[in-house]
Amino acid sequence: MDLTDFFRDTPLDIEAKNHKTIKLREFWKQTVQGASLGRIPTLVVRLEDDNGGILDDLAVLRFSDLVDFIAEIQDGTKTITDLRKPIEVAGLDEVVASTVQKGAKACRNGHLLSPSRTQCFAKGCPYSAGYKAKKIKK
């Protein structure tokens, strides 16, 4: 797999180095020069263990970019949490009750019915058309 393909949808511009000797200053300059405007220059270096095997692949990026990245993720997580909260519509029960008082029909669960209908259309309501009780497994 090409690293470039994998990271195309991220804000990272990756410069990958697999050299025996890690020349951080030199590699970093190349990484910054090669990065597109508005992208986060990211250097990936392979670190060898004492036996010439792979100890780890490390990412080097500006600390400020890392902090921004984390802040963005936290913002996104907070937004998702907010969006998952159930929406409460104030006064909905009262609206349904007064609509029923005005002559609209409701099923026995309180779901409003269309004027020409006698069966509920609320999904999963036992008074709806086509409702099937869940079978209890024995």
Query: Contact residues for Zn ion (CB under 5 A)?
Result: 107, 109, 111, 120, 122, 125, 127
CB of 118 to Zn ion, least distance (A): 11
Q: Residues 127, 121: contact at Cβ < 8 Å?
A: no
Give the burial string for 70-103 (b: 16+ CB within 10 Å, else e): eeeeeeeeeeeeeeeeeeeeeeeeeeeeeeeeee
Q: Residues 110, 117: contact at Cβ < 8 Å?
A: no
Nearer to Zn ion, 98 or 114 (CB): 114
Nearer to Zn ion, 105 or 111 (CB): 111
Nearer to Zn ion, 35 or 122 (CB): 122
Residue in the structure block whose two tokens are 């269309």: 114
Nearer to Zn ion, 85 or 108 (CB): 108
Q: Tokens at residue 65, please? A: 């970019």
CB of 121 to Zn ion, least distance (A): 8
CB of 120 to Zn ion, least distance (A): 3
The answer for residues whose C-beta is within 8 angstroms of residue 46's C-beta and 6 or more apart is: 17, 18, 54, 56, 57, 58
CB of 98 to Zn ion, least distance (A): 18
CB of 100 to Zn ion, least distance (A): 13
Q: Residues 97, 111: contact at Cβ < 8 Å?
A: no
Nearer to Zn ion, 16 or 113 (CB): 113
